[in-house]
Structure 1
Amino acid sequence: MRDLQLIHRSFSAARMRTFERAIGSAAVHPFTLYQWNLRISGAFLLPLHVCEVVIRNAVAEALEQQHGERWPWQRGFYSSLPGSGSDGYNARAELQRATARFPTTSSVIAALRFAFWQHMFTQRFDAGLWRPTLHRVLPGAGQLGPPHGVRATLHADLQRVRTLRNRIAHHEPVFMRDLGEDFATITKLVGLRCPDVVRWMDRVETVTPLLLQRPN
């Protein structure tokens, strides 16, 4: 088919091969799945945005409670951060770059990547940060159990969300993921901070109807 040849030329045969294998012998054009993948990726931007902003604000609030309003510049907090870990991420270096570039706490918060906020949910912060603050900054977590167990679950949940976010940001296929579970995880995280935000998000998000339209 000439249209498929043109698509291969524009999007690359290697990229389209992923969708062709997924469709197999079904009577659906591979580009139909590609278009759906584009649409669902775009639809996820709104809940991903909400989740990242809500979680980083919750962490920032906990840090302010423990280290004061100027927490990014507190030496004690900086020293508590890990250097380069097994995953290659260096939270200490990232904070140092942000504080050297920006003069206010709010601007540093906006500059720090999602990876930084997820790393704040590692075990090293159980006693000094989450034990006294978790249920205050994430009120919905109170019914889920003790802070250390909830913190570990949140770390895993944020890894799932980050993986989805990064695939979308790099224009990689997401159709093979359990996107319903991805959306449920995002909703849960947002709800731990504020159920009212979840209710608003439910009114404006377009992920749910698109999930029902996935080409078979």
Structure 2
Amino acid sequence: MSPPSELPPLLSDERMGTYHRLAPEWGCDPFELYLLGIELASSYMADLHIVEIAMRNAMHDRLARKYGSDWWANAELLDDRSQTAVAKAHADARYGDGHRPGRLLAQLPLGFWVHLLEVGGHAGKPPYRERRAYEALLWRPALRHAFPSSTQRRADVHAVAARVYALRNRVAHHEPVVTGVRLPGVPHNAPGAYRSPHDLHNDIIALLRMISTPVGDWVAHHSRTPALLNLGEASASHCPAGADHH
């Protein structure tokens, strides 16, 4: 079923400019490519749903084993950025005595968990400001066990998680994904500054396999993303989903 003729005029020229530029490469009409982008974003989000929940639950489980089920309330563990995120989640969830941890965990965004895989920042106010070294406080005693199939290097796990987070933000803000994603904070001309749609799919699967190889394999098998991108074909210069929209 074709979309109503009223839809294209509702899309900005700036947004559609991306699809006009890429349409020849994909071998399809710009609006057809726009619709494919919507399907691709939907497929990414389905896979991101699994990886986000799996990661946060695996990380929470390991931190709870080491520091107790309310580890996030331990001011000796988290830096200011993490504590601020917890405070906001606490308020948004209206978390109180007697509530299960899951209520608070559901309010903590993916960025919070990705940050726990970084080096950590500082906490407190001068002159009592202290460093929270996440390598020693979180990774070695707890979080490395949440990624049993990884290389066991915090920086490696964080690098993949940060790329997945960048994709998640792009999808959540309805930005084009057929272009791939430029990684935040990386100069545009630096090696690896951009992740292609194919790379982004691989990042999701890689992160899941770090947490659980069977789960990662299952998502890799059932994900719609490879079909949408027509992975494995000699050429991607056509629009694999175009026929579905006419």
Shorter-chain TM-score range = 0.7 to 0.9
Asked if 1:114 is matched to 2:110, the reply is: yes
RMSD: 2.4
Q: Does the CA contact (< 8 Å) of 2:51 and 2:208 recur in 1?
A: yes
For the 8 Å contact 1:72–1:108, the answer to whether it is kept is no
* Separation (CA, whole Å) in 1 of partners of 2:178 and 2:84: 35
Match of residue 99 from structure 1: 90
Alpha-carbon spacing, 1:133–1:166, altered in 2? closer, same or farther (3 Å): same
| Cα separation, 2, equivalents of 1:166 and 1:137 | 23
Asked if residue 201 in structure 1 is aligned to residue 219 in structure 2, the reply is: yes
- The corresponding residue for 1:45 is 45
CA contact (8 A) 2:144 2:154 kept: no
**Contact 1:23/1:30 (CA < 8 Å) preserved in 2?**
yes
Q: Which residue of 1 aligns with 2:146?
A: 137
Per-residue deviation, 1:99: 2.8
What per-residue deviation string (whole Å, max 9, x for no partner) do you get for residues 121-178 of structure 1? 011310111112244222112xx2xx4xx21122221221111111111111011111
Instruction: Give TM-score, length-normalised by structure 1.
Output: 0.82
What do residues 5-42 of structure 1 show as CA deviations (whole Å, max 9, x unaligned)? 95541212221111112225986311111111111111
* CA separation of 1:65 and 1:34: change in aligned 2, threshold 3 A: same
CA contact (8 A) 2:114 2:158 kept: yes
Return the alpha-carbon distance in structure 1 between the equivalents of residues 113 and 16 of structure 2.
34
Counterparts of 1:1-216 in structure 2 under 5 Å? 8-24=8-24, 28-77=28-77, 80-81=78-79, 83=80, 90-100=81-91, 101-103=94-96, 104-123=100-119, 124-141=133-150, 144=151, 147=152, 150-177=153-180, 178-212=196-230, 215=238
In the alignment, is the contact (CA less than 8 A) between 2:171 and 2:177 conserved in 1? yes
Distance (Å, rounded) in 1 between the aligned partners of 2:156 and 2:38: 30
Closer/same/farther in 2, CA of residues 196 and 20 from structure 1, 3 Å limit: same
- Distance in 2, matches of 1:186 and 1:157, equals 8
Distance in structure 2 (CA, Å) of the matches to 1:30 and 1:210: 16
The alpha carbon displacement at 1:182 in A equals: 0.9
The offset of 1:204, in angstroms, is 2.4
Q: Give the direction of change, closer, same or farther, for the CA distance of 1:70–1:25 in structure 2 (3 Å limit).
A: closer
Could you tell me how far apart the structure 2 residues matched to 1:27 and 1:41 are?
19
Kindly provide the amino acid, as one letter, of the partner of residue 179 in structure 1. Answer: P
Change (3 A) 1:26 1:160: closer
Paired with 1:211 and 1:184, the residues of 2 have a C-alpha distance of: 12
Q: How has the CA–CA distance of structure 1 residues 174 and 26 changed in structure 2, closer, same or farther, with 3 Å as cutoff?
A: closer
Cα distance in 2, alignment partners of residues 132 and 206 from structure 1 = 37
TM-score, reference length from structure 2: 0.73
AA matched with 2:14: A
Q: Within 2, Cα distance between the matches of 1:26 and 1:186? A: 23
Listed as ranges, the gaps of 5+ residues in structure 1 are: 84-89
In structure 1, how many angstroms separate the alpha carbons of the residues matched to 2:54 and 2:86?
19
Counterpart code for 2:160? D
**How big is the shift at 1:199?**
2.9
Query: Are the counterparts in 1 of residues 8 and 31 from structure 2 also a CA contact under 8 Å?
Result: no
Unaligned runs of 5+ in 2: 120-132, 181-195, 240-246
Compare the two structures and name the one with the higher helix fraction.
1
Count residues in correspondence.
Answer: 199
Separation in structure 2 between the aligned mates of residue 72 and residue 20 of structure 1, nearest angstrom: 47
CA distance in 1, matches of 2:172, 2:201: 16
